[in-house]
Amino acid sequence: MSETKAAAPKRKFDPNLILVFVLLFGGLGSFLYNNMTDVTATWMAILLFIIGLVLLIKGGDWFVDGAATIAERFKVPEILIGATVVSIGTTLPEVMVSAQAAAKGNAGISYGNAIGSIICNVSLIAAITLAVKPAKVDKKPLRIPVIFFFAAAVFYAANAYLFGHFSRVTGAILLCTFIGYMIVNVKQALSKKNEPAAEASDGDGADDDGEKKKPMPMWQAILFLIVGAAVIAFGATLLVDNGTIIAGKLGVPDSVIAVTVVALGTSLPELVTAVTSLIKGKGALSLGNIIGANIFNLVLVSGIAITIRPFDVPSEKLLAGMNASLLVDIPMAFLVMLILTVPPLVKGRLYRLQGIALLLLYAAYCVFQFVF
């Protein structure tokens, strides 16, 4: 026991904190300088883009460490932690981007960011995870997130197809759905806390691995979760703002930027979290994060944006004289989620073929956005 206590101080300070805070304040300084002097030079945009990417990577690493530790301590399934705590952290960029866009009256960005992020999360991020390392999945904790997603998606689509407009009432209902989802998940988490000692055996297994690395203290796990989320959010802001500047200089239309560059940029936290989870052998955490993030994109991101300023379904892009978003974007979001969730719900596992199919769909979707 004395050896265990002697080993604990080794985790008191993470030297990477110095790197992150240097990057954080360096990026903030560069960001403020860029805005105050109205400098939009390509070199500055590229520099801030790189800083944002580094912050995302390190923030994602800390965030997964903290979330996984909390899941183990409270005997909560990783897929549940991924669908709630991790999802909120990785959805922060979408919330900020959509809220800012709504406040400025840019409906295209608010709408395109939410729908585009769902498509990107599944057909690129989850697809990469599946293509690299498919795995078995526990059906039970997956059911509630999937039910909530499709219920919210049907309501969202009904507003788009029937009214072509999202009212403040719609926004309020979406936000109430978010609250309901969190309440259900917290109750589920609390019920799991008092459950089997069967799961405790898994915890013992973690102690065996603990020869190399002692369990993280709870205060440090919470700190990693909070700091990781802040670093992810700021890194994504730098990356999206400057990625948009770079895309604009290349002559990419705003309507395409919303569902591609902005959606991809704000989805990078999910990508970083998915890859980090995969490397750390936390595949369930990654899947839960993707599904949870998609729910939040509909009920939290869209709910906040619509409540701030109601808007019509953007119709900048037409296909055969009809709104391309209604013909392609919304159906695509439903399709990719069905491909992702049906096999694990029916068979209890994920397949490499799913990942390949989703990647091909995303490639086709991007070609459509840029070519047609």
Q: Which pLDDT tens digit goes with each residue over 300-321?
A: 989 999 999 898 888 777 777 7
Tokens for 339, please give them. 């491909």
CA-to-CA separations, 1 to 4, 7, 205, in angstroms, rounded:
5, 10, 18
Identify each DSSP E strand in 196-267 by its residue range.
none
Per this entry, what is the length of the chain? Answer: 372
Q: What does DSSP assign to residue 197?
A: S
pTM for this prediction? 0.70
Do 134 and 359 contact (CB within 8 A), yes or no? no
Both tokens of 246, joined, read 């770079």
227 or 61, higher pLDDT: 227
Gap between the Cα atoms of 67 and 17, Å rounded:
18
pLDDT of residue 158: 95
**What is the rounded CA–CA span in Å between residue 127 and residue 359?**
6
Say whether 215 sits in a helix, a strand or coil. coil
Q: Which domain holds residue 121?
A: 2-371
Which CATH number goes with the domain that contains 134? 1.20.1420.30
Nearest to 289 by CA among 156, 151, 92: 92
Query: What is the C-alpha separation between 165 and 119, in angstroms, rounded?
Result: 21
Supply the pLDDT for residue 311: 86
Q: Where does the pLDDT of residue 18 fall: very low under 50, low under 70, confident under 90, or very high at 90 and above?
A: low
Instruction: Return the pLDDT at 5.
Output: 46
Q: For 62-97, how does the pLDDT look when each residue is reduced to its tens digit (9 = 90+)?
A: 777 787 787 777 776 666 666 666 666 667 667 777
Token pair belonging to 293: 């993030």
Burial class for 268, CB neighbours closer than 10 Å (0-12, 13-18, 19+): buried
- pLDDT of 243 > 80? The answer is no
pLDDT for 147 beyond 80 = yes
The total number of structural domains in the chain stands at 1
Dist CA 229 CA 61 (whole Å):
10
Residue 331: per-residue pLDDT? 95
Alpha-carbon span 144 to 135, nearest angstrom: 20
Confidence of residue 210 (pLDDT cuts 50, 70, 90): very low
Residue with the larger pLDDT of the pair 48 and 356: 356
Amino acid 211: pLDDT: 45
Task: Judge residue 22's burial from the number of C-beta atoms within 10 Å of its C-beta, 0-12 exposed, 13-18 middle, 19 or more buried.
Answer: exposed
User: What φ, ψ does residue 134 adopt, rounded to 5°?
Assistant: -65, 155
